[in-house]
Structure 1
Amino acid sequence: MNDINLLGRLTNTPELKQSANGRPYTWFTMAVPRQDNRKEADYIRCLAFDKLANAIYKHCDKGRQILCQGRLQVSTSIDKATKKVKYHHTVVVSSTHFLHDPNISSASI
């Protein structure tokens, strides 16, 4: 089973783009703290499509805490200069929960 859950914060504001056939998508990176050392984080590249991509674009800015569920996708490419295979890891997001937004103060809630 290829199932992944990530709890972290966005490292940048997502950009909404469209594929050649008009399908909306967004790339974003999450900083996910390590369980054994909260001062360290893994930076994980994520991809969302369609309505979910629109929602992430509309509701998320840099620093927003989110919980993402999806699957890990690994693709490869070959470096032309060295002829070595490069592996690219991406989480393809299937659902998201929007959590803490640092841009909204607790006094305004």
Structure 2
Amino acid sequence: MNDIKLLGRLTNAPELKKSTAGHTYAWFTVAVPRKSDKNEADFIRCVAFGKLASAMEQYCTKGRQILVQGRLQVSQSTDQQTQQTRYHHTVVAHAANFLHDPRYAQASAEAPF
């Protein structure tokens, strides 16, 4: 079974794009802290399609905590000059939960009560 879940923060706001066929998609990177050392993180490249991509572009900004569910996709390419094979790992998201938004936490912390 190829199933992956990532809990981390967005390194940048997702940018909505359209393929030549007219399909929408968004690339984004999730910084996932390592369990052994909270000061280190893995930066994992992800892509979302369709309605999920549109929702991410609309509601997600840099620093937003997100839970991404999807599958790991591995592709390879070969450098024509050196004949070296490179492997590219991407999480293809099929669902996401938008969690803590630092913009609202900052606004509530500054509000006088």
The runs of at least 4 aligned residues of structure 1 exceeding 6 Å deviation read none
Structure label with greater radius of gyration: 2
Q: Is 1:75 aligned with 2:75?
A: yes
Q: Could you say which residue in structure 2 is the equivalent of 1:87? A: 87
Deviation per residue, 1:14-33 (Å, 9 max, x gap): 10000111000000001000
Q: Could you say which residue in structure 2 is the equivalent of 1:56? A: 56
Structure 2 length-normalised TM: 0.92
**Larger helix fraction of residues:** 2
Q: Could you say which residue in structure 1 is the equivalent of 2:44? A: 44
> RMSD between aligned alpha carbons?
1.0
**What residue ranges of structure 2 are gaps of 5+ in the alignment?**
none
- The residue matched to 1:54 in structure 2 has which SS? helix
The number of equivalent residue pairs is 108
CA distance in 2, matches of 1:51, 1:90: 19
Q: Could you say which residue in structure 1 is the equivalent of 2:32? A: 32
The answer to which of 69-78 and 97-106 deviates more is 97-106
**What residue ranges of structure 1 are gaps of 5+ in the alignment?**
none
- Percent of matched pairs sharing the same residue: 60
The one-letter code of the counterpart of 1:22 is: G
The answer to which of 40-49 and 73-82 deviates more is 73-82
Structure 1 length-normalised TM: 0.96
CA distance in 2, matches of 1:75, 1:101: 32
